């Protein structure tokens, strides 16, 4: 990224307010550079922090080895193929890796040697795990799972992990605790961005995320066994620690600025990780993927993935002629979904909208689904709003669905412990029975457009939207 001019180096920012404040400014616009902080007061030179990595399409392309000029639409197509083929390349266990350059164990463990920022002013602590992998092993099957679940520093050798009910890590941890056993956990907090990307994706239950990451990157991930738990950690990761979560060992956690753009959860009681080993490379880099008012580093990269996932699931549910899906980044890539279709029959558009709002990839924390005709680019918000304003009759075309799946980070969940929400499916397609008589849209015909592009190409640069 540095060679491509994609890194802004920052020297001397302190970790209580300034690092988070600079990240906040950089996340106000998609396409800004990634940030690499060094010379952090109170820490040795070289103990660095990298943030704002995946808020640009070129950097996402770079991470996945795609052509530099691949667009958002190409990314949606990429994720669609990735999920359909689900190529798995198992990790390769090696005996040595750069992660072993520095190993602290037992009483020597001190998480404070890593300069973890307070990312947002109102955060209840220092979150070392944001762009992270929390690795666990199913005690019955040996399945290795890793996911991005936020991790807060709680002391020299204690951290806490916030893993929502139903997430794979939560399911695995419960299996240990139901038997009264401690759950072994490894947390990796600086690594190849591709490994982190997979961490935040809903890879199917039972599939090892390391296999999925190998498939994404096109080569096996080299791993070493963590010294106490034996859990696999990337051999060349920057920073990792391992330990155990004991049953009913909870600590106050949060609040933390979350992906919907609010501090929602308040102070929670979350499982404590009692750390036995801390490993890091020389001059380690902590990776931050910081939620904020979206789009942000948490949600932007996942928008193209979620669009592809919803598209696949619409097709799997038998919805014909889906032409595009866009999970809008300003809705945290969850709250707003636009689907474009080539209408085939009366009721097609409503069916597509309701399925998009309830399929696995679209259901969690959605608020708006808008269905448009195939002449509308679902990623072009001006055109989507135009379709909503001109093709939609709110008497029939708004469908309010009540009692849906959402979570604590949705500020409009029902509240008082009821984690459901209401949402609306908006049919902004031309009414099926008026499709032939619907007013003709203004604008050049395909013929006129081709003629203008052939003859007047020299006056067009800069004038075209896309």
Structure tokens at 267: 């102070």
Residue from 50, 53, 189, 201 touching ligand FMN (CB under 6 A): that is: 201
Which residues partner with 272 through β-bridges? 160
Binding of ligand FMN by 226 (CB under 6 A)? no
What is the closest distance, in whole angstroms, from the C-beta atom of residue 289 to ligand FMN in the complex? Answer: 4
Task: Please give the distance of CA 117 from its chain centroid, rounded to a whole number.
Answer: 20
Crossing angle of helices 209-217 and 72-85, in 10° steps, is 130
109-148 residues near ligand FMN, rule: CB under 6 A: 130-131, 145, 147-148
Structure tokens at 263: 């501090």
Binding of ligand FMN by 216 (CB under 6 A)? no
Q: Which of 17, 63, 8, 16 has the alpha carbon at shortest distance from 37?
A: 8
> What is the total count of residues that contact ligand FMN (CB under 6 A)?
19
- How many Å apart are CA 314 and CA 383, to the nearest integer? 22
Q: Which of 241, 287, 19 has the alpha carbon at shortest distance from 110?
A: 241
Residue 244 or 256: which CB sits closer to ligand FMN?
256
Residue 296 CB contacts under 8 Å (≥ 6 apart), including other chains:
27, 55, 259, 290, 332
- How many Å apart are CA 346 and CA 442, to the nearest integer? 25
What is the closest distance, in whole angstroms, from the C-beta atom of residue 301 to ligand FMN in the complex? Answer: 8
Local structure of residue 451 (DSSP, 8 states): H
Instruction: Give the Å distances, CA to CA, from 162 to 36, 154, 268, 442.
Output: 26, 13, 9, 52
Candidates 195-203, 398-406, 447-455, 456-464 — which segment interacts with ligand FMN by CB under 6 A? Answer: 195-203
What is the closest distance, in whole angstroms, from the C-beta atom of residue 300 to ligand FMN in the complex? Answer: 10
Residue 136 or 226: which CB sits closer to ligand FMN?
136
Match 């020297």 to its residue by tokens. Answer: 11
What is the closest distance, in whole angstroms, from the C-beta atom of residue 84 to ligand FMN in the complex? Answer: 18
Residue from 39, 202, 222, 374 touching ligand FMN (CB under 6 A): that is: 202
Residue 100 or 330: which CB sits closer to ligand FMN?
330
Residue 298 or 373: which CB sits closer to ligand FMN?
298
Candidates 55-63, 77-85, 86-94, 193-201 — which segment interacts with ligand FMN by CB under 6 A? Answer: 193-201
Binding site for ligand FMN (CB under 6 A): 130-131, 145, 147-150, 162-164, 167-169, 199-202, 289, 298
């Amino acid at each position: 990224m540095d060679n491509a001019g994609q890194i802004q180096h920052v020297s001397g920012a302190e970790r209580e307010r300034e690092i988070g404040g600079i990240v906040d400014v950089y996340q106000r616009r998609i396409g800004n550079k990634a940030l690499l902080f060094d010379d952090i007061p109170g820490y040795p030179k070289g103990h660095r922090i990298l943030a704002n990595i995946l808020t640009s399409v070129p950097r996402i392309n770079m991470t996945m080895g795609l052509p530099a000029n691949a667009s958002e639409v190409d990314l949606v197509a990429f994720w669609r193929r990735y999920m359909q083929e689900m190529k798995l390349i198992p990790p390769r266990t090696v005996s040595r890796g750069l992660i072993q350059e520095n190993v602290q164990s037992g009483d020597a463990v001190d998480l404070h040697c890593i300069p973890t920022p307070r990312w947002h002013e109102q955060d209840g602590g220092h979150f070392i795990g944001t762009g992270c992998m929390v690795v666990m092993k199913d005690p019955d099957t040996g399945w290795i799972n890793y996911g991005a679940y936020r991790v807060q520093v709680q002391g020299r050798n204690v951290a806490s992990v916030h893993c929502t009910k139903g997430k794979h890590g939560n399911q695995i941890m419960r299996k240990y605790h139901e038997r009264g056993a401690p759950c072994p956990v490894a947390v990796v907090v600086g690594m190849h961005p591709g490994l982190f990307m997979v961490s935040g994706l809903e890879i199917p239950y039972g599939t090892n995320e390391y296999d999925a990451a190998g498939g994404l990157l096109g080569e096996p991930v080299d791993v070493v066994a963590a010294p106490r738990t034996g859990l696999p950690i990337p051999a060349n990761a920057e920073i990792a620690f391992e330990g155990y979560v004991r049953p009913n060992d909870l600590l106050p956690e949060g609040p933390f600025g979350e992906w919907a753009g609010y501090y929602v959860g308040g102070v929670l009681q979350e499982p404590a990780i009692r750390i036995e080993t801390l490993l890091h490379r020389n001059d380690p880099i902590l990776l931050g993927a910081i939620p904020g008012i979206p789009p942000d580093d948490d949600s932007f990269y996942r928008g193209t993935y979620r669009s592809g996932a919803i598209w696949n699931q619409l097709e799997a549910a038998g919805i014909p002629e889906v032409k595009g899906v866009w999970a809008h980044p300003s809705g945290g890539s969850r709250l707003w979904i636009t689907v474009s279709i080539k209408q085939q029959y009366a009721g097609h558009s409503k069916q597509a909208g309701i399925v998009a709002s309830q399929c696995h990839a679209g259901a969690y924390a959605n608020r708006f689904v808008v269905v448009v005709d195939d002449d509308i680019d679902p990623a072009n918000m001006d055109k989507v709003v135009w379709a909503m304003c001109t093709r939609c009759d709110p008497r029939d075309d708004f469908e309010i669905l009540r009692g849906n799946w959402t979570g604590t980070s949705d500020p409009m969940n029902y509240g008082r412990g009821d984690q459901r929400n209401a949402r609306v499916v908006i049919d902004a397609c031309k009414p099926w029975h008026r499709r032939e008589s619907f007013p003709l849209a203004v604008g050049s015909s395909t013929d006129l457009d081709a003629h203008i592009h052939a003859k007047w190409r020299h006056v067009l640069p800069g004038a075209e939207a896309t």
